Amino acid sequence: MTGAQVARVPGAEDDSSVWSGHFHGALHPGPAGTRIASDAWVRHPLGRPVAWNLDQWLTDGERAWSGEIGWAGPPACAYYWDRSIVWLDEDRPVLEGLGYDDVELAPGARVFDLGRRGAGGPAGTGEPAEIAAFGGPEGRSFAADGLLFSSSESGLEIWNPTTGARLGALAGFRPTHHDHARGELIELSSIGLRRWRTADADA
């Protein structure tokens, strides 16, 4: 995507590495391309999403994986990964699901601020502050114009990620993709393609 050579992750056999035992999943770049999140898991197994600075990864090599550089790990969830992760902006990722175990997981969203860290987090980085958590959002998530969108069996729902209020819904429309350049959510199915402008959420 950038043409830059990507530094390798230290091998799992290196027990001194902060990434020892980590298994990365889907990658989710931030909207401005300065940060990236991975839907990772660690042995237990625990779903353990992580986020780090993309520019430092490309320029500093393996040092970018150390706690000194600044990666962040939101709270883990036992036996649950492959979850929806979206970015409201470069500092605020949103994780799908409420709870710390797949058995007790409830539909909802958790919003974190990577610019605010608590003490005693992974590798000394500090766990990012959870600034909002609310029930409701389910399925695949998208973010645009400061709003959160969730695509479930019933259709599309629109949420205020600060207050947790549901702002609207579009029954029967289940987007599968987000065209950021055109500002559209797209539903791709066996019967065709449907599009909807995220700007219409304010209409």
**Gap between the Cα atoms of 121 and 104, Å rounded:** 24
Which percentage of the chain shows pLDDT scores above 70? 78
Task: Give the dihedral sign, CA 181/139/175/48.
Answer: positive
Q: What is the CA radius of gyration of the chain?
A: 17
CB-based contacts of 154, cutoff 8 Å, min separation 6: 169, 171
Which conformational region is residue 194 in: left (phi greater than 0), alpha (psi within -120 to 50 degrees), or beta? beta
The beta-carbon contacts of 123-127 under 8 Å, at least 24 apart in sequence, are 123/18, 123/66, 123/67, 123/71, 124/67, 124/68, 125/67, 125/70, 125/71, 125/72, 125/73, 126/72, 127/72, 127/73, 127/74, 127/75
Q: Is the pLDDT of residue 178 over 90?
A: yes
pLDDT per residue as tens digits for the range 125-166: 557 889 999 999 999 999 999 999 999 999 999 999 999 999
Per-residue model confidence (pLDDT) at position 11? 47
CA distance 96 to 83: 6
Percent of the chain with pLDDT over 90: 47
Cβ atoms of 69 and 53 closer than 8 Å? yes
Kindly state the greatest CA–CA separation across the chain.
Answer: 54
Mean confidence (pLDDT) of the chain: 83
Residue 15 token pair: 């027990």
Mark out the alpha helices in the chain (DSSP H runs).
54-60
Which residue type sits at 20?
S
Higher pLDDT, 69 or 137: 137
pLDDT tens-digit map of 73-131: 778 888 787 788 999 999 999 999 998 888 889 999 999 998 876 555 444 455 788 99
Asked if the model's pLDDT at residue 16 lies above 90, the reply is no
